[in-house]
Amino acid sequence: MEKYKVVFHINESNKWSTLLANVNNLIKDLGKDNVIVEVVANGTAVSDYVSDSNKDDNNLINKVSEAINFGVKFLACKNSLASNKIDERLIPEFITVIPAGVTELVKKQAAGYGYIKP
Amino acid sequence: MEKYKVVFHINESNKWSTLLANVNNLIKDLGKDNVIVEVVANGTAVSDYVSDSNKDDNNLINKVSEAINFGVKFLACKNSLASNKIDERLIPEFITVIPAGVTELVKKQAAGYGYIKP
Amino acid sequence: MEKYKVVFHINESNKWSTLLANVNNLIKDLGKDNVIVEVVANGTAVSDYVSDSNKDDNNLINKVSEAINFGVKFLACKNSLASNKIDERLIPEFITVIPAGVTELVKKQAAGYGYIKP
């Protein structure tokens, strides 16, 4: 059977917990080998990719790392990093920085991915 | 002519009136025999499926019942019922409870449904 | 190469700046000759199509006009104009008024367009 494919779109910082719960539920339900999941962050959502040493350990970066272990790919929009004045070098290496988040959303849907905006 | 197919996604309780207006406008415009409409509720939106006898009669459940008469299918995410501490037995029988709302969104898009998030 | 195709959906007035930034980034990244972009406004978002002479010149209508120069098509939902009590005759002629925004979203996705909700 061909794998299901989906791109999640997040552009607001306060939607991360919902998005990660959605991703976890999807993988738990379909099984990680049956679905390809990609998360495209643009807008203010990209700011959460930067680790904050003042926060406790249970932060977004840890949860993202867990999802990556299930094969989920996380991307950050370079335009959004610039407009939110975030130094690209602060983005963890397991996050892929792409020129434009919207282009990725268009290309993935053209390649048969479903779209979900939590 | 093949019917149009669309899955509406709602994950916030305060979007129900917009969603139901969208669904009504779509059916009025295309005609109920020309479009297949499904509504997937997850997140806090599932809480509105439970009837509140303290509210007046003009509540969501009545409007959902009207839409069902036009062939619209309404679904509730079981994960979201659990996280919102809603007893599944309180969900009206004309709502279909599914294991994971996100899985339904992925599968329906893979089957050619459009996606709308009101 | 076939052009990419995408329909942007906006139903909240406060999302226009994000939407226009997204559209600009997409066209800048892909090139205006490689992508067909359509913007469907319903809900309160249609109210911003009406020019307000009390605002300064840097308003939405100017930015929309700029995007139109790159081939972007902007549409307004007639149902939403009515529910927001906006006289259709106040909508600039370069905006296309359609009977139902949701129908357009469904038809465009059926025709292979991706969907983005900023």
Name which of A3-7, B49-53, C39-43, C76-80 the model is least confident about: B49-53
Angle between helices A16-30 and A60-69 (to 10 degrees): 20
Average pLDDT over residues C74-81: 98
B117 in A contact zone (CB under 8 Å) = yes
Question: First-to-last CA distance in chain B?
Answer: 27
Cross-chain residue pair C102–B22, CB shorter than 8 Å:
yes
Q: Would you say the ipTM is above 0.85? A: yes
Angle among Cα C35, C39, C43 to the nearest 5 degrees reads 160
Q: What share of chain C is helix, strand, coil (3-state, %, to 5)?
A: 50, 20, 30
Q: Is the pLDDT of residue B83 over 80?
A: yes
Question: Residue B60: its pLDDT value, please?
Answer: 85
Closest CA to C49 of C95, C117, C7: C95
Question: Residue A60: its pLDDT value, please?
Answer: 85
Closest CA to C40 of C15, C58, C59, C57: C15
| Chain C (22-51) residues lying within 8 Å, Cβ to Cβ, of chain A | 22-23, 25-26, 28-30, 35
Average pLDDT over residues A81-94: 96
Q: Hey, which residues does B39 pair with through a beta bridge?
A: B8, B74
Q: Tens digits of per-residue pLDDT, C19-61?
A: 999 999 999 999 999 999 999 999 999 999 997 666 555 578 8
Q: Is the pLDDT of residue B58 over 80?
A: no
Q: Tens digits of per-residue pLDDT, B11-24?
A: 999 999 999 999 99
Question: Residue C1: its pLDDT value, please?
Answer: 75
Gap between the Cα atoms of C12 and B118, Å rounded = 10
Cross-chain residue pair C25–A117, CB shorter than 8 Å:
no
Contacts of A102 (CB under 8 A, 6+ apart): A42, A77, C6, C22, C23, C25, C26, C29, C116
Q: How far is C44 from chain A, CA to nearest CA, in Å?
A: 20
Q: Which of A102, A103, A108, A113 to probe the C interface (max C CBs under 10 A)?
A: A102
CB count within 10 Å of CB A94 equals: 12
* Model confidence band, residue B1 (pLDDT cutoffs 50, 70, 90): confident
Mean pLDDT computed over every residue of chain B? 94
Cross-chain residue pair C4–A106, CB shorter than 8 Å:
yes
Share of chain A above pLDDT 90, in %: 87
Tally the C-alpha atoms within 13 A of residue A16's C-alpha that lie toward its C-beta: 19
Contacts of B94 (CB under 8 A, 6+ apart): B64, B65, B68, B74
| Residue owning tokens 């995007």 | C67
Residue type present at position C6: V
CB-nearest to A114 from B42, B77, B110 is B110
Q: Which of B1, B6, B38 to probe the C interface (max C CBs under 10 A)?
A: B6
Cross-chain residue pair B25–C107, CB shorter than 8 Å:
no
Gap between the Cα atoms of A75 and A70, Å rounded = 15
Cross-chain residue pair A103–C21, CB shorter than 8 Å:
no
Question: Residue C51: its pLDDT value, please?
Answer: 74
Name which of A42-56, A100-114, C62-76 the model is least confident about: A42-56
Gap between the Cα atoms of B62 and B89, Å rounded = 18
Three-class DSSP category at B37? strand
Residues of A with CB below 8 A from B79's CB? 21, 25
Q: Which of C8, C9, C22, C34 to probe the A interface (max A CBs under 10 A)?
A: C22
CB count within 10 Å of CB B17 equals: 11
Q: How far is A99 from chain B, CA to nearest CA, in Å?
A: 25
DSSP state letter for B75: E
CB-nearest to A106 from C6, C18, C118 is C6
Q: Is the pLDDT of residue A93 over 70?
A: yes
Cross-chain residue pair B11–A26, CB shorter than 8 Å:
no
pTM over 0.80: yes
* Model confidence band, residue C62 (pLDDT cutoffs 50, 70, 90): confident
Structure tokens at B72: 């619209």
User: Which is more confidently placed, C19 or B58?
Assistant: C19
Cross-chain residue pair A22–B83, CB shorter than 8 Å:
no
